[in-house]
Amino acid sequence: MPALLKAEGLVKHYDVETGGFLRRSRVPLRAVDGVDLEIQPGETLGLVGESGCGKSTLGRVLIRLVPATAGYVEFDGADVLRLDPRALREVRRGMQIVFQDPFGALNPRMSVEETVMEPLLIHGARRSAETHAEVGRMLEMVGLPDSARHRFPHEFSGGQRQRVGIARALILRPKLVVLDEPVSALDVSVQAQIVNLLSDLQGELGLTYLFIAHDLGVVKHISTRVAVMYLGKVVEIGEKRALYAAPKHPYTQALLASVPVTHPSRRKRGGQARLAGDIPTALAPPSGCRFHTRCPHVMDVCRTEEPAMRAAGPDHQAACHLLPA
Ligand code: SF4
């Protein structure tokens, strides 16, 4: 089956001014620095990495919310980065985003009805009995009462606000939804409810998800495959079970070691090194393997040669010199 979304050599650099008054210069911040990936129809690709690794930027570039610097993105057969504005608007119906901060993402002066209906109006619908009814259907789908339509964002809890954000993203019946840390700002007790809701909606509506998170624990249950990102690059990607059972990249291993394990019988990851230090700046990424400044297995070759993606098993790849070429 052809991929619903495909990216090749995707790059997003921001020009950043550095230096003092007399030595000011512009250098590229390499937020996304050569990413290839595919998302199959109906699957959830989890995209995981620490803050500042470029995962949110990647999500936005994939759906052209921000322009790419270079590369190729294909969605449902369309060459996304080269569409003219009219064609882009049409393709946009099929790819929507849910943001991390449900409060910041909603206009405080717009009622829930206005918020959820707005994408329909932007795409040419007129306010009518049908759009009114469609808002009601969406509210029901996300578990909110119809009376919620007359209320405003500040009247809701974080979880309820995120339900409004999901209803807004789904009202155009997209094929692909980018979920940009949709539960990171919520209480732990509410996170599972929202993940379960997203999972149910995926089954009901046949959705495909890119689920962005900074924690491998959050995406474990909902993902079909998982991609791990470090300093602008995907360093490991694979089928979920294989990646969690036998992570190949030392960065993935460290991320997994930092996931809280509640069940005593599963507390066997203690031998794996946890992450030390902060992620280096994307203004001057380390040479060779970008993880070499923090890797417990670093070798001389890692400092000079960037590792290419290598097969680590069926539907499982990682970019590390420890793997056989
Ligand atoms: Fe560590 Fe070297 Fe593998 Fe990079 S290439 S993750 S530094 S062992």
Rounded to whole angstroms, the Cα distance separating 7 from 73 reads 4
Is the Cβ atom of 295 under 6 angstroms away from ligand 1?
yes
94 CB contacts (<8 Å, ≥6 apart)?
75, 76, 172, 174, 175, 176
Is the Cβ atom of 307 under 6 angstroms away from ligand 1?
yes
How many whole angstroms from 269 Cα to the centroid of ligand 1?
A: 20
* Torsion region of 199: left, alpha or beta (phi above 0 gives left; psi -120 to 50 gives alpha): alpha
Q: Average pLDDT, stretch 68-86?
A: 97
Q: From atom 7 of ligand 1, which residue's Cα is the shortest distance away? A: 292
Assign 270 a pLDDT band (cuts: 50, 70, 90): very low
Residue 263 in this model has a pLDDT that exceeds 70:
no
Residue 59 in this model has a pLDDT that exceeds 90:
yes
Supply φ then ψ for residue 255, to 5 degrees.
-60, -40
Where along the chain do its domains lie? 5-94+174-250
Q: Average pLDDT, stretch 276-290?
A: 91
Is the Cβ atom of 230 under 6 angstroms away from ligand 1?
no
Is the Cβ atom of 73 under 6 angstroms away from ligand 1?
no
Residue 128 in this model has a pLDDT that exceeds 50:
yes
Q: Average pLDDT, stretch 208-232?
A: 95
Question: CATH homologous superfamily for 5-94+174-250?
Answer: P-loop containing nucleotide triphosphate hydrolases (3.40.50.300)
Ligand 1 closest atom vs CA 292: 7
Rounded to whole angstroms, the Cα distance separating 184 from 180 reads 9
Q: Average pLDDT, stretch 179-198?
A: 94
Buried b or exposed e, range 239-258, using 16+ CB within 10 angstroms:
bbebbbeebbbbbbbbbbbe
Average pLDDT, the chain: 93
Residue 172 in this model has a pLDDT that exceeds 70:
yes
How many whole angstroms from 27 Cα to the centroid of ligand 1?
A: 26
Rounded to whole angstroms, the Cα distance separating 295 from 173 reads 43
Burial of 60 (0-12, 13-18, 19+ CB in 10 A): buried
Assign 22 a pLDDT band (cuts: 50, 70, 90): confident
Residue 58: its pLDDT value, please?
98
Is the Cβ atom of 321 under 6 angstroms away from ligand 1?
yes
Residue 103 in this model has a pLDDT that exceeds 80:
no
Residue 274 in this model has a pLDDT that exceeds 80:
no
Helical residues (DSSP H) of the chain, grouped into ranges: 55-62, 85-92, 112-122, 129-141, 158-170, 188-205, 216-219, 240-245, 250-257, 300-304
Is the Cβ atom of 212 under 6 angstroms away from ligand 1?
no
* Best mutation site among 248, 249, 289, 309 for ligand 1 pocket (most ligand atoms within 8 Å of CB): 289
Choose between 21 and 71: higher pLDDT. Answer: 71
Q: Average pLDDT, stretch 12-30?
A: 86
Is the Cβ atom of 291 under 6 angstroms away from ligand 1?
yes
Instruction: Write the DSSP symbol of residue 146.
Output: G
Residue 264: its pLDDT value, please?
53
Residue 262 in this model has a pLDDT that exceeds 70:
no
Judge contact between 289 and 306, C-beta under 8 A: yes
Q: Coil, strand or helix: which one is 75?
A: strand
Residue 32 in this model has a pLDDT that exceeds 80:
yes
How many whole angstroms from 251 Cα to the centroid of ligand 1?
A: 8
Judge contact between 83 and 91, C-beta under 8 A: yes
* Best mutation site among 253, 294, 298, 305 for ligand 1 pocket (most ligand atoms within 8 Å of CB): 298
Rounded to whole angstroms, the Cα distance separating 46 from 225 reads 6
Please name which of 33, 11, 20 lies closest in space to residue 284, comparing C-alpha atoms: 33
Judge contact between 278 and 231, C-beta under 8 A: no
How many whole angstroms from 289 Cα to the centroid of ligand 1?
A: 6
